[in-house]
Copies of this chain bind each other. A is one copy, B any other.
Amino acid sequence: MKTKKVTMVRIYCTEGQGKLKEMLSRLHDDYKVSGVTVFRGVAGFGASGQLHSSSLLDISLDLPQVIEFFDEQDKIAEILAELADSFKPGHVVSWQAEVNI
């Protein structure tokens, strides 16, 4: 399988922050990244230590949310530079990977 190098990004936020719609719009319209997937966690905690969880008896409206995308390394570097101010430290993780071409 032929591949090219990409940078994977995972941005950690919570549903309550309401950042998803704006982020999807920027990644789609402004940066035209080739693909984005959003996942909802069923439990989690952040730097505050406060637990966010869901259960049948206790539906939380502030579940963890992960925005995942990847694209060529230079493009991602530019995107992350512009997004840096939108997220607190410790919320944007990235690493090198390869994608089929």
Hey, which bits of chain A sit against chain B, CB under 8 A?
Answer: 1-3, 6, 8, 12, 20, 24, 28, 32, 34-47, 49, 51, 64-66, 70, 80-81, 83-84, 87, 89-101
Which B residues touch A90, using CB under 8 A?
34-35, 99-101
A51: chain B residues at CB < 8 Å are 24, 28
Given contacts A20-B43, A37-B66, A94-B99, 10 further A-B contacts (CB under 8 A): A2-B84, A3-B94, A6-B93, A12-B35, A34-B90, A35-B46, A90-B101, A92-B99, A94-B98, A95-B98
Taking a contact as CB atoms under 8 Å apart, the answer to whether B8 and A93 are in contact is: yes
Check if A95 sits within 8 Å of B96, measured CB to CB: yes
CA distance A36 to B53 in the complex (A): 11
Contact check, A8 vs B95: say whether CB atoms are below 8 A apart: yes
A3 — which chain B residues lie within 8 A by C-beta? 94
